[in-house]
């Protein structure tokens, strides 16, 4: 077992499908009780990574340990301490919600009283109804909530949540975030998501993957600090004439203007020359604010792509 507080550690973990590198020499360390978010474009290798860590896929090369157990040597020990809510929810469609939860209890050999209590608590927490019909009739969002509840039935030390809020309505998404937050410190969580505000508010540490490799990592603040060059300058003023936008564009500055605000996103914002220009136009500035980049802006700059979420 690991003596330190590292729950998950990978060493050059790699997976190839034919000639395609799905995951290429991944090196991550996830501390116990931490929420670690793996972000990335479609096909970056997030699900493949999770599948290897859950011992569902054998790596082509490299290693990983979960609580000190090697994914190649100790898959049974690992499966007893992890819970996983897969990207493609793995629920038994011909069973009811309660039956699905009880099934998971059976897989882990839990005592009937424990199964009953946990199933009841999780149904309440995930706001699942005890419906009598089969889960194939549930909406996509309800099926996803059930999938998370199933991952929690064994009360695992380590939880893998592969896009847990995909397809959830904003209320349900918020309630899942609140719930994940409640598990913070108590469980180690590896979370993938395309909702960057989700990673921003929940994750202790973020790794951004692109094309099978991690291209940047750190806390949300560290990532934003590193990309200060994409900050936004907001200027509030009254009666901004419509030609301001075109004038600044001529100076090579892209702006978004309304009647009383100018927003400039730029790699290099020369505030003084902008203020000078606005003064020559007799525009009275009421306020200037420099905003840090959002995690989404950092992600877009790093990956050079829009976030593609098929469910959106
Ligand atoms: N069983 C497989 N056979 C062949 N290629 C695969 C297989 N599973 C995944 N891949 C490929 O591996 C790469 C990584 O896929 P993966 O599912 O890990 O991406 P992801 O980061 O989870 O993407 P998404 O955000 O779309 O869920 C992709 O190019 C994918 O097509
Ligand atoms: Mg995936």
pLDDT digits (tens, 9 = 90+) for 188-229: 999 999 999 999 999 999 999 999 999 999 999 999 998 877
Give the distance (Å) from ligand 2 centre to CA of residue 193: 9
14 lines ligand 1 (CB under 6 A): no
DSSP states along the chain: --SSSEEEEEEEEEEEETTEEEEEEE--EEETT-EEEEEESTTSSHHHHHHHHTTSS--SEEEEEETTEETTT-HHHHHHHEEEE-SS----TTS-HHHHHHHHHHHTT--HHHHHHHHHHHHHHTT----SS-GGGS-HHHHHHHHHHHHHTT--SEEEEESTTTT--HHHHHHHHHHHHHHBTTBEEEEE-S-HHHHHHH-SEEEEEETTEEEEEE-HHHHHHHTGGG-EEEEEESS--THHHHHHHHTT--EEE-SSEEEEE-SS--HHHHHHHHHHTT--EEEEEEEPPPHHHHHHHHH-S----TT-
- Predicted model pTM: 0.86
Give the model's pLDDT for residue 231. 79
Domain boundaries, the chain: 6-226, 232-291
Give the distance (Å) from ligand 1 centre to CA of residue 11: 20
Q: Is residue 14 classed exposed, middle or buried when 0-12, 13-18 and 19+ CB atoms within 10 A define those classes?
A: buried
Q: What is the pLDDT of residues 125-141, one digit of tens each?
A: 888 888 888 888 888 88
Which of 17, 42, 312 for mutating ligand 1's site (highest number of atoms within 8 Å of CB)? 17
Q: Which protein residue's CA is at the shortest distance from atom 16 of ligand 1?
A: 45
303 lines ligand 1 (CB under 6 A): no
Give the model's pLDDT for residue 133. 83
The CATH code belonging to domain 6-226 is 3.40.50.300
- Alpha-carbon distance 282 to 76, whole Å? 73
Q: Which protein residue's CA is at the shortest distance from atom 6 of ligand 1?
A: 17
42 lines ligand 1 (CB under 6 A): yes
Give the distance (Å) from ligand 2 centre to CA of residue 44: 8
40 lines ligand 1 (CB under 6 A): yes
Atom nearest to 15 CA in ligand 1: 12
What is the torsion angle, in degrees rounded to the nearest 10, for the CA atoms of residue 91, residue 312, residue 203 and residue 299? 140
Q: Which protein residue's CA is at the shortest distance from atom 7 of ligand 1?
A: 17
Give the model's pLDDT for residue 3. 52
**In the chain, which residues have pLDDT < 50?**
1-2, 306-312
Closest CA to 64 of 54, 75, 53: 53
51 lines ligand 1 (CB under 6 A): no
The CATH code belonging to domain 232-291 is 3.30.70
Q: Which protein residue's CA is at the shortest distance from atom 3 of ligand 1?
A: 17
Give the distance (Å) from ligand 1 centre to CA of residue 43: 5
What is the torsion angle, in degrees rounded to the nearest 10, for the CA atoms of residue 15, residue 62, residue 33 and residue 31? -130
Give the model's pLDDT for residue 312. 34
């Amino acid at each position: 077992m690991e003596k330190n507080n590292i729950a998950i550690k990978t060493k050059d973990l790699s997976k190839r499908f034919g000639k395609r590198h799905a995951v290429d020499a991944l090196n991550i360390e996830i501390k116990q009780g931490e929420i670690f978010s793996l972000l990335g474009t479609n096909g970056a290798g997030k699900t493949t990574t999770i599948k290897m860590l859950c011992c569902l896929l054998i790596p082509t090369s490299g290693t990983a340990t979960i609580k000190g157990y090697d994914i190649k040597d100790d898959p049974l020990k690992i499966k007893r301490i992890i819970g996983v809510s897969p990207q493609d929810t793995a629920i038994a469609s011909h069973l009811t919600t309660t039956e699905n939860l009880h099934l998971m209890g059976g897989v882990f050999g839990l005592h009937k009283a424990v199964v009953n209590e946990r199933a009841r608590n999780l149904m309440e927490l995930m706001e699942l109804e005890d419906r009598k019909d089969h889960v194939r009739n549930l909406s996509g969002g309800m099926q996803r909530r059930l999938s998370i509840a199933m991952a929690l039935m064994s009360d695992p030390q380590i939880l893998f949540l592969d896009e847990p809020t995909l397809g959830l309505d904003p209320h349900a998404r918020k309630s899942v975030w609140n719930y994940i937050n409640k598990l913070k410190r108590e469980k180690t969580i590896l979370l993938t998501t395309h909702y960057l505000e989700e990673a921003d508010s929940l994750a202790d540490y973020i790794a951004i993957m692109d094309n099978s490799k991690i291209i940047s990592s750190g806390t949300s603040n560290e990532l934003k600090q590193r990309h200060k060059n994409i900050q936004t300058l907001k200027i509030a003023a009254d009666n901004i004439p419509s030609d301001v936008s075109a004038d600044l564009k001529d100076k090579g500055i892209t702006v978004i203007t309304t009647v009383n605000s100018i927003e400039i996103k730029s790699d290099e914002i020369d505030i003084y020359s902008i203020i000078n220009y606005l003064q020559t136009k007799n525009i009275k500035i009421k306020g200037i604010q420099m905003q840090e980049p959002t995690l989404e802006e950092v992600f877009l700059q790093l990956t050079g792509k829009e976030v593609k979420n098929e469910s959106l």
